[in-house]
Amino acid sequence: MNQPVIAVTDLAKSYGEVTALAGISLSVTRGAVLAVLGHNGAGKTTLIDILSTRVRPSAGTARVCGYDVVQRGRAVRRRIGVTGQFAAVDDALSGRGNLVLIARLLGAKPRQAQARAAELIASFGLEDAADRPAGTYSGGMRRRLDLAAGLVGAPQVLFLDEPTTGLDPVSRSGLWAVVEGLAARGTTVVLTTQYLEEADRLADHVVVLGLGHITVSGTPSQLKARLGNRTATLTFGTELALRRAVDALARLGLAAGRTGLVLSVPLSGPGDIPVLVRALDAAGAPLRDLTVTEPTLDDVYLSLHRTAVAS
Ligand SMILES: Nc1ncnc2c1ncn2[C@@H]1O[C@H](COP(=O)(O)OP(=O)(O)OP(=O)(O)O)[C@@H](O)[C@H]1O
* One-letter-per-residue 3-state SS of 103-127: HHHCCCCHHHHHHHHHHHHHHCCCH
b or e along 224-247 (b: 16 or more beta carbons within 10 Å of the residue's beta carbon)? beeeebbebebebeeeebbebbbe
Cα–chain center distance at 16: 30
What mean pLDDT, rounded, does the chain reach?
A: 88
Distance between CA atoms of residues 63 and 294, nearest Å: 36
Return phi, psi of residue 112, to 5°: -60, -40
- What is the percent of the chain where pLDDT is above 70? 93
46 lines ligand 1 (CB under 6 A): yes
Whether the predicted pLDDT of 169 surpasses 70: yes
Choice among 21-25, 50-54, 83-87, 296-300 with the minimum mean pLDDT: 83-87
Whether the predicted pLDDT of 39 surpasses 70: yes
The more confident residue out of 168 and 99 is: 99
Neighbouring C-alpha atoms within 13 Å toward the C-beta of 258: 10
Residue 280 Cα to ligand 1 middle (Å): 54
Sign of the torsion angle spanned by Cα atoms 108, 110, 111, 116: positive
In terms of pTM, does the model score above 0.90? no
The secondary structure of 31-76 as a DSSP string is T-EEEEEESTTSSHHHHHHHHTTSS--SEEEEEETTEETTTTHHHH
8 Å CB contact between 56 and 11: no
Return phi, psi of residue 254, to 5°: -105, 130
pLDDT tens digit sequence for 180-230? 989 999 999 999 988 888 888 999 999 988 888 998 899 988 887 776 667
Residue 47 Cα to ligand 1 middle (Å): 10
Q: In this structure, which residue's CA is closest to atom 4 in ligand 1?
A: 15
In this prediction, residue 3 has a pLDDT band, given cuts at 50, 70 and 90, of: confident
Residue 48 Cα to ligand 1 middle (Å): 11
Whether the predicted pLDDT of 72 surpasses 60: yes
Give the position, in ligand 1's atom list, of the atom nearest the Cα of 48: 18
**Which of 21, 46, 164 for a ligand 1 pocket mutation test, highest count of atoms within 8 Å of Cβ?**
46
pLDDT at residue 57, as a whole number: 97
Give the position, in ligand 1's atom list, of the atom nearest the Cα of 212: 14
Cα–chain center distance at 308: 21
Choice among 51-65, 109-123, 252-266 with the minimum mean pLDDT: 252-266
Which of 164, 159, 160 is CA-nearest to residue 198?
Answer: 164
216 lines ligand 1 (CB under 6 A): no
Most confident of 45-59, 182-196, 270-284, 292-306: 45-59
pLDDT at residue 171, as a whole number: 78
203, burial (CB in 10 Å: exposed 0-12, middle 13-18, buried 19+): buried
Residue 15 Cα to ligand 1 middle (Å): 9
Whether the predicted pLDDT of 294 surpasses 80: no
pLDDT at residue 309, as a whole number: 59
Whether the predicted pLDDT of 268 surpasses 80: no
8 Å CB contact between 229 and 301: no
Distance between CA atoms of residues 208 and 300, nearest Å: 10
18 lines ligand 1 (CB under 6 A): yes
**Between 297-310 and 220-227, two packed helices, what is the crossing angle to 10 degrees?**
60
Residue 162 Cα to ligand 1 middle (Å): 14
Most confident of 109-118, 119-128, 218-227: 109-118
193 lines ligand 1 (CB under 6 A): no
- What is the percent of the chain where pLDDT is above 90? 55
Residue 30 Cα to ligand 1 middle (Å): 28
38 lines ligand 1 (CB under 6 A): yes
pLDDT tens digit sequence for 216-266? 899 988 887 776 667 889 999 999 999 999 999 888 888 788 889 999 888
* ipTM of this complex prediction, to 2 decimal places: 0.95
